[in-house]
Amino acid sequence: MSMIRDLRAAVRPALRRGGTPYEYDATRDASSSTAVVDCAVYREGMRASAPCGPAEAMRRVRAEGGFAWIGLHEPTEQEFAGIAREFNLHPLAVEDAVHAHQRPKLERYDDTLFTVFKTIHYVEHAELTATSEVVETGEVMCFTGEDFIITVRHGGQGSLRALRHRLEQDPPLLAKGPSAVLHAIADQVVDGYIAVADAVQDDIDEVEIDVFSAPSKGSSRGGDAGRIYQLKREVLEFKRAVTPLMRPMQLLSERPMRLVDPDIQKYFRDVADHLARVHEQVVAFDDLLNSILQANLAQASVAQNEDMRKITSWAAIFAVPTMIAGIYGMNFTHMPELKWKYGYPMVMIVTVAICVSIHRGFKRNGWL
């Protein structure tokens, strides 16, 4: 992954500026072909009509008030350097935002809150197999200041474009400032978790039904173990996104923060409640899959024991004619019934009778 990331960092700037790597120019227009997806100034909940770049947006905010919302998608270090200087972002947070693959967290650097969210997307599949991908993950990082919010998105899903348009339709909420945008992002991420949890529940129900239903002729119980283990791995990926976010949501909903409007903090409590419910579901998924996997392995073991009992039963039945044939195959001159006319039919009748008796006994005991 690091090699691919380094290659992208080297190639993408060259493609954008005619083949020459460059350091991001914060004064460029937001609509140009940079990592900036959207850049806007908001005053009293309304978007300023004139387009601008990040540096121009901050000049307008400092001169006329309001706040700036800058959205980026997978910026390189060169592309993000100008914005980092313009907004005085901490180098550690900048490094995390550029390289991604971070745990969900909330950190404070001077007058900026740095928040990391993991986005989860459910991958549709016609049938769950041992190699099915169930969830895809991405990341959204937020730098929240008093008069700006910078969102950095990684991954092919989790777009914030629809969210921005929805917020622009609610000026009273957007007028609360950057913390309103931070809450909306957190709410969208957690709502995504709820939708994925419902879809994963359907997959688990399907696997559970398959494991505990009667096996079809020729099928093997052990074949379900691969699907269960794959689903468990995907649930673990889901859990890694949900569990670390519990503490940041608790802090945002309970601890007074200067950068979070008190009215918005009440909304964070609702997000924290939804996240707690999803967390309980994911933990339950993990425990349930453990139980299903153990049940599947137990069924496979029982099936093997049944096969061994059948093999042993038939071996015991065939041991009788083998023993009798072995006795009468010995080369002794004086043996009972050796000269008797009905000796052979009698031996055959006795052999069959013993075998039938043993078979019936095994049948009664459930071995056959």
How far apart, in whole angstroms, are the C-alpha atoms of residue 347 and residue 329?
13
262-328 and 224-242 helices, crossing angle to 10°: 160
Q: What is the pLDDT, as a whole number, of residue 332?
A: 67
pLDDT, tens digit, 9 for 90 and up, residues 48-69:
877 788 888 888 988 888 999 9
3-class secondary structure, 117: strand
- How far apart are alpha carbons 262 and 113 in whole angstroms? 16
- Rounded CA separation 319/351 (Å): 10
Residue 33 half-sphere exposure toward CB, CA atoms < 13 A: 7
Q: What is the pLDDT of residue 219?
A: 52
pLDDT at 301: 75
Instruction: Note the Cα 209 to chain centre separation in Å.
Output: 22
pTM: 0.73
Listed as ranges, residues in the chain with pLDDT below 50 are: 1-33, 218, 222
Strands 135-144 and 112-122: antiparallel
In the prediction, which pLDDT does 9 show? 39
Structural domains of the chain in order of their starting residue, each with its CATH number: 31-298 (3.30.460.20), 299-363 (1.20.58.340)
- pLDDT, residue 128, reads 73
Looking at the chain, list the stretches that DSSP marks H as alpha helix, in order from N- to C-terminal side: 2-16, 54-64, 77-86, 91-99, 161-168, 171-174, 178-212, 224-242, 246-254, 262-328, 343-364
pLDDT, position 139: 93
pLDDT of residue 233: 86
Residue 306: the pLDDT is: 74
Q: What is the DSSP letter of 89?
A: -
> In angstroms, what CA-CA distances link 155 with 34, 151, 317?
16, 13, 65
